[in-house]
């Protein structure tokens, strides 16, 4: 599966990205990719393109939502990045006819798809007239979490960003800020990235991410034989990955 039931975050911002904005994209996306989080953006120049490139550099998966036809984008100088996205098992989405050019009214329509596909939206750099604010507004309409990166108060390229923060968006300076707001155990995810698990151990941990389970429940959900399941659970408990409390196993 493209997303494997993991978190999906949009990373969007201005086409006129500053060096600071581009640094922030690389900083956040680099760590998000380590956590196997799928990144969505609009393949526009500036912040969007930087987000796609950053996740591709880490061999991660990304979805590009276009404001033009797919054939049209393949005729542009973005062809190589599109091919890289596909090579990394990502996805290119467009609701427009294959050869249709990108018109001004297409991009707000594209932004609603970006917002709809995402669990949360990260605004990296947005002036007062940025299309990223349209994405944020759609996100609010759809009940998505909005995350905003701050900058110096005199920077006009962040005026829209700062207005979102004043309106209640979550100010973020790290990936942990994002995951905590979404109710995800950041430290556990980081810990799991550094542990080598067998496919069967991964299967058990995936089940236990949702709720604690008894051996019988794990047997039903994983379809592993009871004897084999007990051996794996014992090994996971010895390694400090799970605990047994009253016959219920849960992730530490």
Is the per-residue pLDDT at 171 higher than 70? yes
195-251 belongs to CATH 1.10.10.10: yes
What CATH number matches the domain at 8-184, 3.30.460.10, 3.40.50.450, 3.40.250.10, 3.40.50.620? 3.40.50.450
pLDDT tens, position by position, 189-227:
655 666 788 999 989 988 887 788 999 999 999 999 999
Separation of alpha carbons 32 and 130, rounded Å: 24
Q: How many CB atoms lie within 10 A of CB 19?
A: 7
**pTM of structure:** 0.76
From the number of C-beta atoms within 10 Å of its C-beta (0-12, 13-18, 19+), residue 54 rates as: buried
Residue 247 has a pLDDT of 87
Domains in the chain: boundaries = 8-184, 195-251
Q: How confident is the model at residue 1 (pLDDT cuts 50, 70, 90)?
A: very low
Task: Report which of residues 66 and 241 the model is more confident about.
Answer: 66
| Residue 31 C-alpha from the chain's centroid | 11
Separation of alpha carbons 248 and 244, rounded Å: 5
């Amino acid at each position: 599966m493209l997303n494997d039931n993991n978190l999906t975050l949009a990373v969007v911002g201005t086409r006129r990205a500053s060096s600071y904005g581009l640094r922030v994209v690389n900083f956040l996306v680099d760590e998000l990719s380590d956590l196997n989080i799928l990144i969505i953006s609009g393949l526009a120049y500036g912040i969007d393109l930087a987000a796609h490139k950053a996740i591709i550099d880490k061999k991660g998966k990304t979805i590009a939502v276009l404001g033009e036809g797919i054939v049209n984008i393949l005729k542009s100088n973005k062809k190589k990045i599109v091919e890289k996205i596909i090579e990394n098992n990502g996805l290119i989405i467009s609701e427009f006819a294959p050869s249709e050019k990108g018109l001004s009214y297409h991009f707000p329509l594209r932004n609603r798809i970006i917002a709809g596909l995402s669990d949360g939206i990260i605004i990296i750099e947005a002036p007062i007239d940025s299309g990223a604010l349209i994405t944020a507004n759609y996100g609010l309409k759809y009940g998505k979490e909005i995350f905003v990166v701050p900058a110096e108060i005199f920077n006009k390229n962040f005026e829209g960003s700062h207005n979102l923060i004043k309106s209640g968006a979550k100010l973020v300076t790290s990936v942990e800020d994002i995951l905590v707001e979404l109710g995800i155990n950041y430290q556990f995810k980081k810990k799991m990235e550094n542990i080598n698990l067998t496919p069967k151990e991964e299967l058990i941990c995936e089940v236990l991410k949702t709720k604690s389970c008894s051996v019988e429940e794990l047997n039903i959900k994983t379809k592993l034989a009871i004897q084999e399941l007990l051996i794996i659970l014992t090994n996971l408990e010895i390694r400090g990955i799970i605990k047994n409390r009253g016959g219920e196993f849960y992730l530490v």
